[in-house]
């Protein structure tokens, strides 16, 4: 029987994670901890036995949690970690703030973080994943990230510390991001809001935004960088090689490669994590057989499969 510190926030034993992920799959975490505030998180981390794993989770828009769940304390930030403030061109947001809210609030104040508007994650997930679209990435605008370390200390990290790469950054093991500071270019609020509306519409036209997905399933196969520089070419699209392998619309149980965008893996209703991951692996195999390309997962897969 594991004994955990008693926090002021909410600690739930054996909590299913399926309703906390966009794909609506995932078995139980040993514990789910929703800290009340920074001090509560610090004390909990400090007092938690060092051999107990911690998994910080955002809003689960880039995750397949396997059906057997996670042998860890999952930490999910909520109220107390979602404040957004704007001063000049500097925007500071709590890690639980949604990217879309941050983009809108920044635009209201004439700061261009519009690329965040259509990404359905939280700021913690955006920093960890170096989220980006339309040629802009979190790495371009991040100035500082603040974490609580596994030992319970509050530490500021620079962009260099985070070592941003395509859809990736480095955090100390077990650390929880609690806030981030960005600096965006100036823009006219009306123009920024109009641009975000256009981007939302573009997404709805080209991606299955109403389905349960976790965004792009695989990385595009070639030539990426996290900088969005003009010389960053990415000619070969994952959806194209998936189409070439005949896997658009392919199904396994309740999982499907979307007919609308073949690099989107969707839960059509009753998919298990095993269906989704299994279909993804089937796609990787078929793509390798037809084009010799090894697709790399962009969706993070965590936890244990179910054992019989
Ligand atoms: C329809 C759709 C469209 C998408 N389009 C895009 C896109 O255009 N561009 C793009 O980049 N992504 C896209 N995504 C993927 C996803 O939204 C991003 O990766 C997002 O940044 C994930 O944020 P999250 O809060 O959901 O993180 P989660 O999925 O919950 O977690 C992702 C990773 O971040 C870590 N993490 C989350 N919060 C914290 C924290 N507070 N401290 C430490 N680590 C943390 C987790 O441990 C995990 O490793 C899309 C997803 C969907 C469903």
Are the beta carbons of 7 and 47 closer than 8 angstroms? no
Ligand 1 atom at shortest distance from the alpha carbon of 214: 53
Ligand 1 proximity of 92 Cβ (cutoff 6 Å)? no
Element (H, E) at 290: helix 273-291
Banded model confidence at residue 184, pLDDT cuts 50, 70, 90: very high
Does the beta carbon of 126 sit less than 6 angstroms from any atom of ligand 1? yes
Ligand 1 atom closest to Cα of residue 138: 11
Q: Which residue has the higher pLDDT, 218 or 230?
A: 218
Beta bridge partners of 85: 92
CA 124 to ligand 1 centroid distance, Å: 8
pTM: 0.95
Given pLDDT bands bounded at 50, 70 and 90, which one contains residue 116? very high
Q: Is 237 exposed, middle or buried (0-12, 13-18, 19+ CB in 10 A)?
A: middle
Task: Evaluate: CB of 59 within 6 angstroms of ligand 1.
Answer: yes
CA of 212 from ligand 1 middle (Å) equals: 14
On average, the pLDDT of the chain sits at 94
| Cα 258 to ligand 1 centroid, rounded to whole Å | 20
């Amino acid at each position: 029987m594991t004994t955990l510190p008693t926090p002021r926030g909410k600690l739930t034993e054996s909590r299913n994670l399926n309703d906390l992920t966009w794909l609506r799959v995932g078995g139980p975490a040993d514990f789910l901890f929703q800290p009340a505030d920074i001090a509560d998180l610090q004390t909990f981390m400090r007092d938690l036995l060092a051999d107990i794993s911690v998994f910080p989770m955002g809003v689960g828009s880039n995750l397949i949690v396997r059906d057997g769940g996670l042998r860890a304390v999952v930490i999910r930030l909520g109220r107390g970690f979602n404040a957004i403030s704007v001063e000049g061109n500097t925007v500071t947001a709590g890690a639980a703030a949604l990217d879309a809210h941050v983009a809108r609030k920044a635009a209201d104040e004439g700061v261009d973080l519009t690329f965040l508007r259509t990404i359905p994650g939280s700021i913690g997930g955006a920093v960890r994943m170096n989220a980006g679209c339309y040629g802009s990435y979190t790495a371009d605008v991040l100035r500082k990230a603040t974490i609580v370390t596994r030992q319970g200390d509050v530490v500021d990290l620079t962009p260099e510390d985070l070592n941003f790469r395509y859809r990736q950054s480095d955090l100390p093991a077990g650390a929880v991001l609690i806030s981030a500071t960005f600096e965006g270019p100036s823009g006219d609020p009306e123009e920024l809001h109009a641009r975000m509306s256009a981007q939302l519409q573009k997404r709805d036209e080209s991606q299955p935004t109403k389905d349960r997905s976790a965004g792009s399933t695989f990385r595009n196969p070639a030539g990426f960088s996290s900088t969005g520089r003009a010389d960053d070419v990415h000619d070969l699209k994952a959806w194209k090689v998936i189409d070439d392998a005949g896997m658009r619309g392919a199904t396994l149980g309740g999982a499907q490669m979307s007919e609308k965008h073949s690099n989107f893996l969707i839960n059509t209703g009753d998919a298990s994590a095993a269906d989704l991951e299994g279909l993804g692996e089937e796609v990787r195999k078929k793509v390798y057989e037809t084009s010799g390309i090894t697709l790399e997962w962009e969706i993070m897969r965590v936890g244990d499969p179910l054992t019989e």
